[in-house]
Every structure is written in structure tokens, then in C-alpha cells.
A and B are shown apart, each in its own frame.
Chain A
Amino acid sequence: MKTEVRKICMLGDFAVGKTSLVNRFVNSAFSERYLSTVGVKIDTKLVQLVDRQVKLVLWDLAGSDPLNGAAKSYLMGTHGIVLVADGTRRETLDSALRIHQHAESLIGARPTVLLINKADLEPQWQSTQADLQSARQWARNVWETSAMTGAHVEDAFMALAGVER
């Protein structure tokens, strides 16, 4: 069976849990120190869909807004974007929207999923249902995830993998 390879970029504000989500989803190939050295950490995950195999190459970009830094060229050739926000910090959802707009300005529209992370701390969330509803207007899929429990993590990535190119 032929395997498609897709480049997925993980974007989001500082400390929203991007790396934890990736670690939950994949078996890491490279140490996290690359994240601090080069500004990106690469991992891969082979997922089996109904009709095909897709290999996701996950680019975990560091920083509060990596697209403002020197590594914005990391976005080139990206097939899909995983935006991550921290449900306990309302401002990270705004950052996610800003980053998304910035990315679209650089590489055009790409399939995107929004992960509102730290669902295990839902009582402390500052994001409201209205905020989530608003986010669904610009993100194809919005998932409430928890890197700690693994809730909806795989669903989110599988949803992105299933998008036709």
C-alpha cells in the first residue's frame, strides 16, 4: 500500500503543550534539545486510514510566535497546521488566531485543527463556549484535548491526516 507523507506544523503560544501533545501522539525520534537548539523538533507518525496509510511528519515549532522569528521558513510545504491553545489561559486562544492568520499570509490556506489543550483542568478554563464557537469559524476542527490523559489527541491528528490533499 502506498504511503502518503504529509508535513504538519504544530503552532501555538508558549507553554500551551505542543510538545507534550506530540509526545503523547508519537514515539519521539529526536531529543527535545533540538527544539531549543534549532527551534524545531521533528517527529513522525504513521497512521492507518480506511483506504490508505499516511505518514505525518510533525514539525514542532518553538516560541510564543515562531512565525515572527527566523524559523518562519519552516512553514514552507506544510500540508496541515495544528494550532494549540491552553484552555486555562484565554489569551492563548487569541494568539492561536493571530498565528493562524500570519501563517495563512505566508503560505495560504491550509487544513487546520485547533486543539484547546489541558482538558484535564477544565474547571480552571478561562475559555468559554462562546470562544470555542467563535474559533470554529476559522478552524476546520476544534478539539478539547489533554496531553496528560490523552483525551482526543489521536482524534485530532487523525482528523488532519484524513483531509484529502
Chain B
Amino acid sequence: MSGEHVKRLRDLLRVPDQASQDELGERVGGVEQQLERLPENLPAALRSADDLGPRLASALEQPVAKAVEGLARNRRELLANALFPVLGPAIRHAITEALRGLVDNLNRLLESTFSARGLRWRMEAWRSGMPYAQVALRHMLRYSVDHLFLIQNGSGLLLARAHQSEPQDNDSDAVAAMLTAIREFMRDSGLAPGEAELRQVQVGDHVLRLYPGPEGYLAAAISGVPGGEVDASLAELLEAMHRRAPQALIDGQPDSELDELLRAWFSHSGRSQELIKPDSRRPVMGQIVLGALILLGLVWCAEWLWTGAEASRLQRQLSAQPGYQAQVSRVAWRQLQIVGLRDPLAAIVDAQLDLAGLDRARVHSRLRPYLSLDPQLLTKRVRQMLRPPDRVQISMAGGVVRVSGYADQEWTTTAQRLLRAWSVVIPSKWEVQLEVEPPVFDPIADQPVIVELNRGAEIGPEGRLAVEEIVTWFTEPAQPADGLRLQITAETDGVGELESNQRLAEARLNAVREALLEAGLPEFRLLPGIAKPEVVPGEDFNRRRVWVDAVMQQ
């Protein structure tokens, strides 16, 4: 088959497919056009593919990840600049959280410390309502930003500045340039690893901190020890400057807005600030507790004064009493104590407390006995020792103990003996004078004469003396009044039967009557006597006496 035949055969075979070939050609052309228009159609296509979201995201994941990875590897600066506004807040947030955890840990740690300074800070924390750790940190991290510069990267041109006080060398442009040179030197010299750069220079108590940004950096000269909050605050300031005046930073031109931002920060945050606002509830609690403490203090002062006044009053009262050498003092809440010496014959303590109006349970007595030389107590002591009859007086004055009056011989003898022994005990300045006479009948004294009887109705020697005394008074020079009569009363004790006692009383009455008459007493002077035995059973030796009373009749 010649070539011409083959060509003809091929044409014949192509005729039926011509239409479909043209259609395929149109399709291919359409696809190419779509590919050419893909960039402009792609955003609309992606927006209309909502239902394909997960599939689309999955399909794009791999190429986007590779693109970002390549960007991070080859265009690191571009990526860093793009992420700068995002990274700053994120890093600050992370730092804030970390610092909060640090403060919590420090709080727990420091709460267990009790140094004098710690206690002082604890008082401040309690007063202000701030956590203790924050107070401690605030004291330790006190700082002041003395100078602040905004400097363009690279050129080192000073774009804005602020000072706590005017610097000695006013050439801040030179300072900014030198700082930049040092910063560049540190970066380019290879002394710092990787892309690390100079962030801080420590000079004694001062620190120079650098805060880098995409177009400019802040340099802060700080005295003291700045806390983390100053870093966060300055980083935020730098971001605000890049956001609000980006062109000025790029052109290296000073800008009023940059100055304003810098000065505003300086006036508000240039010095130490509180990290956390005080909890408003805690000061209220603190004030309540403080008020309660003040009230307790006032109550304690009032009690101290009141109890002190009571002690003084009791002290004065005891000092006025003979037989007390004691000191009264306040020993505890509403409690008094008496310490010292007390004569056993002195007034008892409880009576003194009653007189002072004090509760006995509130006063504790620690008194030891002693012998007081007070005349009043000495007299009392002599009286207690001698037990004198009614007609004997004891007095002490001018260094003399005087015992005088009328007593029978027996008592007088005993008294003399006791006083001799007692004179050894009492101080030598005291002299004892005993002036006791036998009893004398004196009806004017309205004292009955007692006629002592022995058992039964027999008058003893002393009884005889009494009888003689009565009769002597009536017969010798006294010359009693005519109406004066004698009433004889005889008694017995209650031992035995009443009838026999009655007879005994009458016998005693008659015995004394007979004795008086025998001694020479006129009979008209005697009234009918009284014989009365004791009706209460029991022995009473006083009832064995016979009483002779003088009675005046009209």
C-alpha cells in the first residue's frame, strides 16, 4: 500500500471522531484558562468550600507546615517581626503565671520565718492586706528607673528620652550611640551564642537593661533591684511605640507621640509599684482585729487602774490598823495579794476586806504572825493573859503598863507572878505597875457583893471577909441612908433534885443572913431573901454563890 493510500485511509478513519476531538480540544482549553485564573478565583472558591472544611484543612496541613518551616529557617527575621505583637503578650502572660507561682511558693516558704524583719513585714502585710511574700519582695525589689532611652536599631539615633533627674552629661545622643555600638559589638563579636544579644549590664547597685524591638530598642538605667513587672511594663511600652508610631521608628525621626508615651510611662511606672491590688476584705478584717486589740488594751488599762486603786485603798486601811506590817499589790486580772506580817491579836483580814468592800475570793493573803508593840495590842495581850476581874483596869501610857483596881488576893498573887514573867518578854521601856487593893463594899457603885460558899451552905474565909466588909461599911464612918436595904439572893446549880436544891438555896440564904446579923448588921437593913435553885439540870459553880445587893427604899 502506497503512502497516498495510507493517508487516504487515515482521513476516512478520522471523519467520525472529528466532533469529539473538537470537544476535547475545547475542554483542554477551558482547563488551561481556569488554571490561569486560579489566583483570582481561589479565595472565592475557598470561601464556598465550607462543607469541605475538614478535608481542605487536612489537605493544606502538609504544604502550609512546610511553608512555615521554610520561613522559619530561611526568613527568620521576617517571621519574628510578624509574630512580635503576638509573642510579647504571650510571653508576658507566661511570665506573669510563672511569677504568680513563684510568689505563692515564696509565700509558703517565708510564712514560716520569724525574724525581727520578717515580723515587721508580716505586720505590714497584715495592715495592708497584701500577701506577705509580696511585701517581702516589694522591700527587696525596690527600684527606680533613672533614665530611659528609645533608640533606633542600627543607627543608634536617639528617638525619645526621659529622666528621673537631669543627667550630669546631657549628651544623650552620644550615650545612645555608644550603647548601640556596644550592643552591636556584643552581637557581632561572636561573644554571645547564636542570636543572643546584650540585655543587661550590671554596675554596682545600678543596672542597665535593654529591651529589643523590631525597629528600636529601649534602654533603661535602673537603680535598685527591679522586679519582673518593670520588664513586662517596658516591653508593653515598646510594643505600644511600634504600634502607634511605626514610621518614626523606621525613619529614625524623633516623634512627639513617642515622647508622650515615654514620659507617660515614666511618670506612672518609673518607680516600684504594687504587684497586686490589696484585697478589700482583708483590711476590714484587720481593722476589726486591730479595734478588738485596742479595746482589749483599754479594758486592761481600766482594770489595771481600778484594781490598783482598790489595792491602795486596802493598803491605807491596813496601815491604819495596829498589828499589820503588810504590802498590798495587784498580781493578776482583778486579783490582789497581801504580803507581810500580822499580829494574831490584830483585826482579822476578812473583816478588813469587808470594810474595804472587796470580795474575799479576789484577795490572797500571805501573812506571817508577829508580836506587835503597838500599845493597843499590848494592852489587849496583858488583859488576855491576866484575865482581870471586873474591877481591875489595865492601861498603857508613857511606857508604863498600869494594872489597878480591886481584886482578891489570889488573883493579885497570880497576876504578880504572870507580870514578872511577862516583863522578860516585853521591851525594857515598858514598866509594869500593879496597884490592886482588896475589894471594898460600895453600894453606890451598884455592884453586888458576892459571898463565896464552900460545898453546901458553909461560908468560906473569903465569904467571911465579904460579910465583914459589908457590915463595916454600915457601921463605920459611912453612915448609910436610912432607906438603904440589903437584898440577899442565894442560888444553886441544877445538879440534883429541885426540892433538895431549893432547901440548899434557902440554907445558904439563912447562913449569910445569920452571918451578917452576927457581925453586927441591924436587922431592919435586911429585906426578905430570895432562894432560887437553877431549874436547868447541870453543874454551874457560879450558882453556888450568894449575892448581896444594896436596894434603896423610900
Answer yes or no: do A and B interact. yes
> Interface residues, chain A, CB within 8 Å of chain B?
5, 7, 29-30, 34, 38-40, 42-44, 55, 57, 59, 70-74, 76-79
B157 CB contact (under 8 Å) in A40, A72, A77? A77
**Chain B residues with CB under 8 A of A29:** 169, 171, 174
Chain B residues closer than 8 Å to A39, beta-carbon distance: 181, 185
| Cα A40 to Cα B183 with chains together (Å) | 12
The CA of A42 and the CA of B174, in the complex, are separated in Å by: 6
Q: Which residues of A contact B188 (CB under 8 A)?
A: 70-73
Within 8 Å by CB of B155, from A40, A44, A55, A77, lies: A77
Chain B residues close to A by CB (< 8 Å): 152-158, 169, 171, 173-174, 177-178, 181-182, 184-185, 187-190, 252, 254
B174 contacts A43, C-beta separation under 8 Å: yes
Least distance between B132 CB and chain A CB atoms (Å): 46
The answer to whether B189 and A30 have CB atoms under 8 Å apart is no
A44 & B171 in contact (Cβ 8 Å cutoff): yes
Q: How far is the CB of A91 from chain B (nearest CB, A)?
A: 27
User: B residues within 8 A CB of A72?
Assistant: 188
Cβ contact within 8 Å between A44 and B174: yes
> With A and B bound together, what is the CA distance between A72 and B173 in angstroms?
20
Task: For the complex, give the distance between the alpha carbons of A104 and B239 in Å.
Answer: 32
Q: Is the CB of A59 within 8 A of B177?
A: yes
B173 lies within 8 A of A73 (CB): no
Residues in chain B near residue A40, CB distance under 8 A: 181, 185
**Are B181 and A57 in contact (CB-based, < 8 A)?**
no
A30 to B174 CA separation, bound complex (whole angstroms): 9
Across chains A and B, the number of contacting residue pairs, with CB separation under 8 Å, is: 69
Complex Cα gap A59–B178 (Å): 9
Q: Hey, which chain B residues are within 8 Å of A57, CB to CB?
A: 156-157, 173-174, 177
Q: Is the interface of A mostly helix, strand, loop or mixed?
A: mixed
For A5, what are the chain B residues with a Cβ–Cβ distance below 8 Å? 157-158, 173, 252, 254
Task: Tell me how far the C-beta of B121 lies from the nearest C-beta in chain A, rounded to whole angstroms.
Answer: 43
Q: How far is the CA of A39 from the CA of B181 in the complex (A)?
A: 9
**Known pairs A40-B181, A57-B173 / 4 extra A-B pairs, C-beta < 8 Å:** A29-B174, A59-B181, A71-B184, A76-B154
With A29-B169, A43-B174, A44-B171 known to touch, is A7 a contact of B181 (CB < 8 Å)?
A: no
**Taking CB as reference atom, which chain A residue is nearest B158?**
A5
Name the residue of chain B whose CB is nearest to the CB of A75: B154
Instruction: Return B329 CB to nearest CB of chain A, in Å.
Output: 78
In the assembled complex, the CB of A63 is this many whole angstroms from the nearest CB of chain B, namely: 13
CB-CB under 8 A for A74 and B174, given A5-B157, A7-B156, A7-B157: no
> Given A5-B157, A5-B158, A57-B157, does the pair A74, B173 have CB atoms closer than 8 Å?
no
CB contacts (< 8 Å) of A70 on chain B: these are 185, 188-190
A55-B173 contact, Cβ under 8 Å, with A34-B178, A70-B190:
yes
Q: Smallest distance from the beta carbon of B98 to chain A beta carbons, Å? A: 33
The 7 closest A-B pairs by CB, nearest first: A77-B155, A76-B154, A70-B188, A77-B154, A42-B177, A29-B174, A40-B181
CA distance A73 to B187 in the complex (A): 9
Contacts of A71 in B (CB 8 A): 181, 184-185, 188
* Contact B174–A73 (Cβ < 8 Å): no
Using A5-B173, A38-B181 as known contacts, say yes or no to A78 and B155 having CB atoms under 8 A apart. Answer: yes
Query: A57-B177, A70-B190, A77-B252 known; A38 and B185 CB under 8 Å?
Result: yes
Q: Does A42 contact B155, Cβ atoms closer than 8 Å?
A: no
Given contacts A5-B157, A7-B156, A77-B157, contact A44 B181 (CB under 8 A): no
Q: List 11 A-B contacts (CB under 8 A).
A: A5-B158, A38-B182, A44-B171, A44-B177, A57-B174, A57-B177, A70-B189, A74-B184, A77-B155, A77-B156, A77-B252
